[in-house]
Amino acid sequence: MVNPLKNNVAAIDLEKGLQENYGAFFETELLKEILKVGKYKRLSAEEVILDVGQEIQYFPLLVSGAVRVMRYDEEGDELLLYYLETGDTCALSLSCCLGSKKSEIKAVAEQNTDLILIPVEYAEIWLDTYPGWRRFVLDNYHYRMNELLETVDSLAFMNMEERVYKYLKDKAMVNHSPQLSITHQSIAYDMHTARVVISRVLKNLEKSGKISSTRNQIELLQW
């Protein structure tokens, strides 16, 4: 049985979240359609939204929070690709759905996150019917591509210390706080390297006054 009260609350959240974050870009008709077919969803931190090999059924619109998008191999070694923040969507989702392919990535909630889920069949049709939607999807594609290039650049051209520092800055950015609750091990995981390497690099960053750190806690002193 669906609880009508709970449903009602979700409906209000959906409308509010939609208006605040997307009201400016989308046509009124489109907003109405989204209200009709979109589903509101709350994710708690570290909840897995999508995993490799999963069929993509929904197109996500971030309303609050952040999502990290990562790649991993057979041995479970991971690499962080980029974050999605409020007002973003995962453009990869669309390219996947169009070819009805399975997901190439894993998406995990970085914090508690609210999103609106659009069934893919609508997302595809709207490309033709709403210029605002098309613009939004293409822009997002562009942003994600740029972030991916940034990640590739950091892998190819930056040394470990620069990479770790960038990682910390990005993380502070999406979490809106220079204080990060994180272990050396989990950084190593995200950056696909060994914990000892991270520990040593962090020590250097600390010596040069860029961060301060204690167990499970790193603070960026300038960013």
Partner DNA sequence: ACATTAAGTGATT
Partner DNA sequence: AATCACTTAATGT
Q: Does 174 bind DNA (CB under 7 A)?
A: no
Q: Does 79 bind DNA (CB under 7 A)?
A: no
Which conformational region is residue 179 in: left (phi greater than 0), alpha (psi within -120 to 50 degrees), or beta?
A: beta
Q: Which of 15, 85, 124, 161 binds DNA (CB under 7 A)?
A: 161
Helix (H) or strand (E) holding 93: helix 91-98
Q: Is 212 helix (H, G, I), strand (E, B) or coil?
A: strand
Helix (H) or strand (E) holding 139: helix 131-157
Q: Does 197 bind DNA (CB under 7 A)?
A: yes
CB of 215 to DNA, least distance (A): 4
Q: Which of 142, 203, 208, 212 binds DNA (CB under 7 A)?
A: 203
Scanning the structure block, which residue is given the tokens 């049985």? 1
Q: Which part of the chain contacts DNA (CB under 7 A), choosing from 20-28, 48-56, 133-141, 183-191?
A: 183-191
Q: Which of 194, 208, 221, 223 binds DNA (CB under 7 A)?
A: 194
Distance CA 41, CA 117 (A): 7
CB of 184 to DNA, least distance (A): 4
Scanning the structure block, which residue is given the tokens 């990682």? 167
Q: Which of 70, 160, 172, 173 binds DNA (CB under 7 A)?
A: 160
Distance CA 90, CA 134 (A): 14
CB of 213 to DNA, least distance (A): 6
Distance CA 160, CA 4 (A): 53
Residue 122 identity (one-letter amino acid)? Y
Q: Which part of the chain contacts DNA (CB under 7 A), choosing from 33-41, 44-52, 120-128, 213-221?
A: 213-221
| Residue number, 13 or 206, with CB nearest to DNA | 206
- In 3D, which of 136, 51, 69 has the Cα closest to residue 109? 69
Q: Does 204 bind DNA (CB under 7 A)?
A: no
- Binding residues for DNA, rule: CB under 7 A, are 159-161, 183-185, 193-197, 199-203, 213-216
